[in-house]
Amino acid sequence: MSEERQPRQTFLDWLDERTGIKPQLNEMLYHRVPRAVNPLDFLGLATLFAFINQAVTGILLAMFYEASSKTAYQSIQYIMTKVPLGWVIRDLHYWGANAMVVLVGLHMVRGFYVGAYKKPREITWISGVALLFITILFAFTGYLLPWDQQSYWATMVGTWMPFYTPFVGIYIAYLARGGAYISGLTLTRFYAVHMLVLPALLLIFFGIHFAMVLKNQMLVVEEAEKKPKGTKGLVTFYPYTVFQMTMLIIIVAAVLLFLALNFHAPLLAPADPLNKAHYNPVPLWFFYSIYQLLKYIPPGLDPVAIIGLPAILVIVLVGLPFFDRNPHREPRRRPFSISVAGVGIAAVLALTYLGATQQGIHVAAGGGGSSTQVIAKPTFAADIEPIFQAHCAVCHGPSTKSAGLDLTSYQSIESMKVATPTDYKKALLWQKIEGVAQPRMPLGGPYLSASTIQTIANWIAEGAPDN
């Protein structure tokens, strides 16, 4: 008698024998969830899909990109014009970067709204905060890589921000730039961070985040599991929720493809460190709110908006699970925190909108630096020094002394002979701020107003006195 035929072993059976994966897989696929799930609960999945888009398109772009100040721009042109579908790949990468910032931000807002930062999900929340800032750094470091005017000067503006950090600001900025200014070394560093450091950090924190989600479950799943079996409105995760997730991914993919095909990633003229065309620097859109805020704060409080507020935001986000002692998750039972967050989000959105419609960088000035009137007989202490403090001290201050010049010190100005007395048109200082001598100062803008330049000219014509 022939031996009884054994049922055919599937790959999953083979894998289960060696890993014991079936029980976990069954639990994952067939746990109960509400039939009517809010699509906003899947924003994390949408963000993950956007990252996969970035990884795939980024690898394809890296095959043709050259991270050199001499060839980066040309390699982008080659991708867009010579590589088959290269322009689509670049556009998908461009819009995917913006989508990731938006989606991860929305995911965090949704998590806050439903109280998903409370016990036992503190680690899930903190790892999500880390992923938010890693995503922003991804967008920031990738923005420089085309090496055109827009990316160059936006990075100049972005790397200018750390200068306001007390004690260590100059070292952070120099570390990022590789020197006082944006150069080929900056491009190499940004590319290395973008391609090597940030992906590693993202995978680490995503692993922690995903592991905590699996351990503690989503809130909707936790609530569904508490209900007795047979409760109406509950279905299994597979196939019902899987179908909803698949539809969301298809929608996100369709939106990205639509944007890529109809709104192309910008590529302006090649980066010009001398800025001979006087390009007006514009920050990345997620910095609009900070720079718009600078237009409303009193003179001299720039560091509060540029460093203080972001630092407070980081502390609040990371510490939120520990600061908020309210045991309730329902938004209606957390009126204070929901109201404060709502006002904050509304303010950021309003400032971002105003920044987008009123583009241009503003640096607050004190004294003569902010005056719209020409001062006929200016003094150094009351009128000239405040201009230098507001507009020049970032690069030409006591600690930076770019080109060996400290414009906040009268002795340095006198010894460097940049303000030739009586004939202001021969003075190097006037020639630089007027643009007669290149590069025009402040480097990359914003340039001094005509009234401010004339005030400095009058001071030089008076003999550039130390008064």
Residue-wise pLDDT tens for the chain (467 aa)?
445 555 556 888 888 888 888 888 887 788 777 776 788 889 999 999 999 999 999 999 999 999 999 999 999 999 999 999 999 999 999 999 999 999 999 999 999 999 999 999 999 999 999 999 999 999 999 999 999 988 998 898 888 888 888 888 888 988 999 887 889 999 999 999 999 999 999 999 999 999 998 888 776 666 656 666 656 667 888 888 889 999 999 999 999 999 999 999 999 889 988 766 667 777 888 888 888 887 787 766 778 888 888 999 999 999 999 999 898 999 999 999 999 999 999 999 999 998 888 754 443 333 334 445 788 888 888 888 878 877 776 677 665 566 667 777 777 777 666 766 667 888 888 888 888 887 778 765 667 878 888 888 888 888 888 87
**pLDDT for residue 400:** 57
Interior angle at CA 284, CA 283 and CA 287, nearest 5: 80
Token digits of residue 451: 């009234």
DSSP of 409-454 = -HHHHHHHT-S-SS-GGG-HHHHHHHTSSSSPSSTTSPPPPHHHHH
**pLDDT for residue 179:** 84
Distance, in Å, from the CA atom of 79 to the CA atom of 73, rounded to the nearest integer, reads: 10
- Cβ atoms of 97 and 258 closer than 8 Å: no
Where do runs of H (alpha helix) occur along 280-357?
A: 288-293, 302-303, 309-323, 335-357
The CATH architecture one would assign to domain 30-268+298-318 is Up-down Bundle (1.20)
**pLDDT for residue 158:** 86
**pLDDT for residue 28:** 78
CA atoms within 13 A on the CB side of 97: 21
Domain range summary for the chain, segments of one domain joined by +: 30-268+298-318, 367-461
Distance, in Å, from the CA atom of 465 to the CA atom of 383, rounded to the nearest integer, reads: 12
Residue 193's nearest CA partner among 159, 168, 169, 154 is 159
Distance, in Å, from the CA atom of 90 to the CA atom of 60, rounded to the nearest integer, reads: 9
Token digits of residue 362: 């503003």
- Cβ atoms of 396 and 406 closer than 8 Å: yes
- State the Rg of the chain over Cα: 28
**pLDDT for residue 33:** 76
**pLDDT for residue 359:** 59
**pLDDT for residue 370:** 42
- Cβ atoms of 90 and 61 closer than 8 Å: yes
**pLDDT for residue 283:** 81
